[in-house]
Amino acid sequence: MPKKIKFNEPMVFNDSKNYLLKVVNNKVFADGEFQSRSEKKIKKLINCESVNLTQSCSSALEVSMILSNIKKGDEVILPSYTFTSTANCVLLRNAKPVFADINVNDVNLDIKSVEKKITKRTKAIIVVHYGGVSCDMDKFLKLKKKYNLILIEDAAHAFLGKYKNKYLGTIGDFGAFSFHESKNIVGGQCGALVINNKKFIKRADVVLDKGTNRRSLGKKNYYSWQDIGSEYRSPELSAALVYSQLNNIKKIQNLRKKIWINYFRDLKKLEGKIFYIPYIRNKDKTNAYHTFPVIFNNIKIRDKFIKFMRQNKILCYFHYYPLHMSNYGRKISKTKLKNTEKVYKGLVRLPIYPSLSQLQVMSIIQKFQSFIKKNSYL
Ligand SMILES: Cc1ncc(COP(=O)(O)O)c(C=O)c1O
């Protein structure tokens, strides 16, 4: 009997164990060497000036909202097809999340829908690079300039993805990465805030350190309360885990890329009647290979596929329940988003992670093929 194929499995290295042990032996569990080493390494990898390791992508997004001075009466435009954190960070500032529609061909924000939603109250746009593939950043940068907005990249999926010659997360005013155990780089629950607009850097240290000036004491030997803030920085154990992953980043990304390319090559041929792959080849966009999504024609066939794969011991999942359709989202927004609803009803993610073997990938592809054969003529 073949073993069950998991949906995701983080990769752990020998370094991971050694570094975690080092933290325990050194007894420095906060703001230690692995926090600063990871931040330095990320800066070098993605070529940027300011990186702060945070407890999560959610906290990085929250800090970006505080630094942007988002407040009551302000509106922030974002996709509805995203995780709750992209909207929660806006609500936590008492501002209003405004949901815009996405493109069906890449699951990223539709620029036209975004522009239609801009009002006098709009202060910022949060783009999500879905699955690790970039939004059309030139168009968003134009919009930012035209309406004088703050641009935040929710790059939870997109570490090491690129747009033209820039790494995702380094293009807008802020970038937020997730190093949750479900992501390409794993720190347990962890993330990073990238600040690309220099005017926000100084205050960030205070907000990230519970509102204190711990990092800029100068001649004083005590620190004090300066501003609002919280404990947003990553624990040292998570930082050690992240550091070990960063040391093995080439291996992780190459293995993910290989799987992604295999799926694409074999499944692209089957596209047409009942599903398509929401990916457009574009030389300006370098994939971070976080997810491999396919979109079925309707929810019935989507659920039938998930069930079929499960019967064959392969775990596949749909993704977000659109925020504007959720119980909580309906209290905030009465909008209808045609493409978001279509994508929600059809999208399924296939397993993709470094320890997935070639044999397992082949077996997933074979099962996919047999499902399509059986169901194309219904
Ligand atoms: C688009 C997006 N943003 C933010 C998050 C939140 O990330 P974290 O768990 O690191 O807070 C997720 C989580 O999966 C996500 O998918």
- Report pLDDT for 219: 75
The three-state secondary structure class of 304 is helix
Residues of the chain with pLDDT under 70: 1, 377-378
Closest ligand 1 atom to Cα of 183: 14
Closest ligand 1 atom to Cα of 189: 10
Question: Token pair of 250, please?
Answer: 């080439």
Pocket test for ligand 1, best of 85, 159, 168, 242 (most atoms within 8 A of CB): 85
| CA distances to 30, 120, 174, 337 from 325, in Å | 39, 26, 28, 9
Quote the CA–CA distance of 10 and 25 in Å, as a whole number: 24
- Report pLDDT for 1: 63
Pocket test for ligand 1, best of 55, 58, 186 (most atoms within 8 A of CB): 58
Question: Token pair of 131, please?
Answer: 């699955």
**Ligand 1 midpoint to CA 218 (Å):** 36
DSSP state, residue 284:
T
- The per-residue pLDDT for range 277-305, each reduced to its tens digit, is 999 999 999 999 999 999 999 999 999 99
Concatenate the DSSP letters of all residues of 221-283 into one string: S---B-S---B-BPBHHHHHHHHHHHHTHHHHHHHHHHHHHHHHHHHHTT-SSSEE------T
Crossing angle of helices 358-375 and 249-268, in 10° steps, is 30
Quote the CA–CA distance of 143 and 126 in Å, as a whole number: 12
- Closest residue by Cα to atom 7, ligand 1, is 57
Q: Is residue 193 within 6 Å of ligand 1 at its C-beta?
A: no
Concatenate the DSSP letters of all residues of 67-109 into one string: HTT--TT-EEEEESSS-HHHHHHHHTTT-EEEEE-B-TTTSSB
Crossing angle of helices 338-346 and 299-311, in 10° steps, is 20
DSSP state, residue 7:
S
- Report pLDDT for 217: 81
**Ligand 1 midpoint to CA 223 (Å):** 32
Q: Is residue 294 within 6 Å of ligand 1 at its C-beta?
A: no
Q: Long-range contacts of range 333-338, CB-CB < 8 Å, 24 or more positions apart?
A: 333/80, 333/97, 333/98, 333/99, 335/80, 335/99, 337/80, 337/99, 337/100, 337/101, 337/102, 337/113, 338/101
Q: Which residues contact 242 (CB under 8 A, 6 or more apart)?
A: 34, 38, 53, 179, 185, 186, 187, 190, 234
Write down all domains in the chain, each with its CATH number in brackets. Answer: 14-247 (3.40.640.10), 249-375 (3.90.1150.10)
The three-state secondary structure class of 127 is strand
Q: Which amino acid is at 119?
A: T
pTM summary value: 0.97
Quote the CA–CA distance of 108 and 45 in Å, as a whole number: 24
